[in-house]
Amino acid sequence: MTEPRWTTDGTTAVPAGTWFEVFVAFLRLGLTSFGGPVAHLGYFRQDIVERRGWLDEHAYLDLVALCQFLPGPASSQVGIGIGLTRAGYAGALAAWIGFTLPSAVALVVFGLGVERFGLSRYAGWLHGLKIAAVAVVAQAVWGMASTMATGKTRATLAVAAAAIVLFVPTTAGQLGAIALGAVTGILLLQGDRKTSEQALAVGVGHPVAICCLVIFFALLIGLPLLAGVPGPSATGQAFADINAFYRAGSLVFGGGHVVLPLLQAAVVPPGWVTNDAFLAGYGAAQAVPGPLFTFAAYLGAVMGPQPHGWTGAAICLAAIFLPSFLLVIGTLPFWQVLRTRPQAQAGLSGVNAAVVGLLLAALYNPVWTSAIAAPRDVALALAAFLLLAVWKLPPWLVVVLCAGSGAVLEQFG
């Protein structure tokens, strides 16, 4: 029996795990989590909350709510937070490496031309993967709604949040829906939320958190200055790469596809990457599991100026994810204290209901609209949902079955 860890406010967290078990868990997720950030949250919930019990439902959604407010890749930030909660700083790093490594390696290999990757040849199984994502997100919405959107007020709030995001499909719509949830919760849901007994900020003190936030802003301000300092060409290019990708990871809300225009503006006009190579890599990124931000590894590998190849890939990948580490570690201790206060509890109750609404909206667009094109797609999605929700099959097996089914269905036109 391991000893529980303690947070700075004296509350106990779940018993401490090891970085290796976190790495194994997230490597499994990194190999099987198809469907984009919304689907990733569904995979995380099924594996971390339901299967492993590392967090309870409330603690998990509180972490999701925090990461919705932070710039950068929300699903990767949730993973970093889970790793931090489970096994400290080593756990946070292990979660990121496990979840990121499979897609990063695949995209670098593609970028270096080791294997010709003709997306059209794999259209059937790619379509099956998209259908699997429909089932995964639907199960996540169903499970979260059963605990976080119960009662008239919270159910109405979830539907209202979904409507806002569907009518205003931008970052402003998402933030507006979350703000509506917070205000409604404070006004109408006082005392309505069961407090999670699990702490989120494992082993992170306020001095460390403040230091991380200072470093975050110092790099955001200082890297452009370093990128402009004359020096050896490779060194100057490395600083320029770090600056461009760090800013992309720092300033983009919504993550995923939202970061692509910013990256394109950073690498195509200067001539680092051709537009054709950029678009080819974007197409390949749709075929791999894990976070779309690993597209940075592909760009680093195919850049014309040195450093490129595996070195360039590592630099760009680390730069785009570094803000996520600094922000998660920098905000979790304050979030942990805030979420225990009565008004904050009420606000979080509303935010969590709004998050259910965001997932509901995403289930329709882009998950459903990009995957369901025919009655047979609906049938396969329903079968996948049945296997997940009733037969309790592991998501990775359902993903494999859907991919195979999509390939078979393609042969019949």
Residue 249 domain flag: yes
pLDDT class for 94, splitting at 50, 70, 90?
A: very high
Assess if residue 146 is contained within a domain.
Answer: no
HSE-up of residue 94 (Cα within 13 Å, Cβ side): 21
pTM of the predicted model as reported, rounded to 2 decimal places: 0.76
For the chain, the average pLDDT equals 82
- Please write the tens of the pLDDT for every residue from 221-245: 988 887 766 555 667 788 888 999 9
pLDDT digit string (tens) for 280-338? 777 667 678 888 899 899 999 988 888 888 999 999 999 999 999 999 999 988 887 77
Confidence bin at 8 (pLDDT 50/70/90): very low
In a domain, 308, yes or no: yes
- Going by pLDDT thresholds of 50, 70 and 90, the confidence category of residue 59 is confident
Query: Is residue 11 predicted with pLDDT exceeding 50?
Result: no
Question: In total, how many domains does the chain have?
Answer: 1
pLDDT at 118 over 50: no
Per-residue confidence band for 1, with pLDDT thresholds at 50, 70 and 90? very low
Which of the pair, 264 or 104, is modelled with greater confidence? 104
Q: Does residue 4 lie in a domain region?
A: no
Average pLDDT over residues 246-271: 76
- Judge whether 362 lies within some domain: no
| Percentage, residues of the chain above pLDDT 70 | 84
Range of the domain at 284: 206-324
Residue 259 lies in a domain: yes
Residue at 301 is within a domain = yes
Q: Residues 15-23: what's their mean pLDDT? A: 85
pLDDT at residue 169 in the model: 79
Among 85-99, 111-125, 132-146, the minimum mean pLDDT is found in: 111-125
